[in-house]
C-alpha cells in the first residue's frame, strides 16, 4: 500500500475513531493490522472484501462499534481474519481476548498479527467452538456472521462464566432467527449500531442464560 493510499485510509479511520469515541492511540496498530490483512489477503483470501476503504468501514469500524459492550475475558467465535476480536483487543488493551477459528490459514494469520503487533492480551486458538475446552470461562462470547443465533448459542453454551453474555453482531434483525433461540437462553437487549461511513442496518443482539 502506497504512502498516499495509506494516508487516505488513515484519515478515514481517524475520523471513524472520533465518531465512535475510541482512543486514537490505537490508530498505528489498526493501520498495521490493515496493512497485514491486505498483504495476506492477496495469497490466502481471508476476506472477500478487497477494497481497502471497504475494509476500514466494514471490518475495522464495524468491529469498533461494539467496543462499549465488551469487557473482561472475551472469546471471538469464528474470528476469521480476527474480526472483531483482534480489532477490539487493539482498541482496548485491558480486554483478555481469545480469537478462535478452525481454519488453519486464518489461525496462522491471526498468530502472525499477534506477533507482529505484539498483542500481549490475545490468545489464538485453532479449534472448533464445540470442541474447545478453555482453562477459564468467558465473560463475553462474541461472533460476527459465525452462525444463526440459535446455533451460536448451542455450540458455545459451555464457554460462558456465570453471568456471562453472548453478543451476536447482525445486520437486519430476523424475527424467525430470534424466535429460534434454544431453551435456557433469553435475549436481554438489542442495540442498534451506528457504523461511521456505513449506511446499512447493524445490530448487536445480547443474550444470556434464562
Kindly report, residue by residue over 91-110, the tens digit of the pLDDT.
999 999 999 999 999 999 99
Cα 57 to the chain's mean position, in Å?
A: 13
Kindly report, residue by residue over 121-167, the tens digit of the pLDDT.
999 999 999 999 999 999 999 999 788 899 999 999 999 999 999 99
Burial of 17: CB neighbours in 10 Å, binned 0-12, 13-18, 19+: buried
Backbone angles phi, psi at 73, to 5 degrees: -85, 125
3-class SS of residue 144: strand
pTM: 0.93
Taken in order of first residue, the domains within the chain and their CATH numbers are: 3-209 (3.40.50.150)
Extract the C-alpha cell encoding 150.
440459535
Alpha helices in 20-126 (DSSP H): 27-44, 52-55, 62-64, 85-91, 104-116
Kindly report, residue by residue over 20-77, the tens digit of the pLDDT.
999 999 999 999 999 898 888 776 666 655 677 888 898 899 999 999 999 999 999 9
Give the side-chain half-sphere CA count within 13 A for 94. 6
Amino acid at each position: 500500500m502506497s504512502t498516499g493510499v495509506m494516508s487516505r485510509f488513515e484519515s478515514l479511520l481517524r475520523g471513524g475513531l472520533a465518531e465512535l469515541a475510541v482512543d486514537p492511540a490505537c490508530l498505528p496498530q489498526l493501520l498495521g493490522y490493515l496493512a497485514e490483512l491486505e498483504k495476506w489477503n492477496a495469497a490466502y483470501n481471508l476476506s472477500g472484501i478487497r477494497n481497502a476503504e471497504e475494509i476500514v468501514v466494514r471490518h475495522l469500524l464495524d468491529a469498533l462499534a461494539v467496543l462499549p459492550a465488551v469487557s473482561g475475558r472475551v472469546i471471538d467465535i469464528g474470528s476469521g481474519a480476527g474480526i472483531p476480536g483482534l480489532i477490539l483487543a487493539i482498541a482496548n488493551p485491558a480486554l483478555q481476548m481469545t480469537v478462535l477459528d478452525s481454519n488453519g490459514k486464518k489461525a496462522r494469520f491471526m498468530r502472525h498479527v499477534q506477533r507482529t503487533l505484539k498483542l500481549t492480551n490475545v490468545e489464538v486458538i485453532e479449534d472448533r467452538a464445540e470442541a474447545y475446552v478453555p482453562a477459564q470461562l468467558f465473560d463475553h462470547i462474541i461472533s460476527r456472521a459465525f452462525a444463526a443465533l440459535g446455533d451460536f448459542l448451542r455450540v458455545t453454551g459451555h464457554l460462558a462464566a456465570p453471568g456471562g453474555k453472548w453478543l451476536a453482531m447482525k445486520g437486519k434483525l430476523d424475527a424467525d432467527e430470534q424466535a429460534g433461540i434454544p431453551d435456557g437462553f433469553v435475549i436481554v437487549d438489542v442495540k442498534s449500531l451506528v457504523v461511521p461511513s456505513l449506511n446499512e442496518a447493524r445490530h448487536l443482539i445480547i443474550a444470556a442464560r434464562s
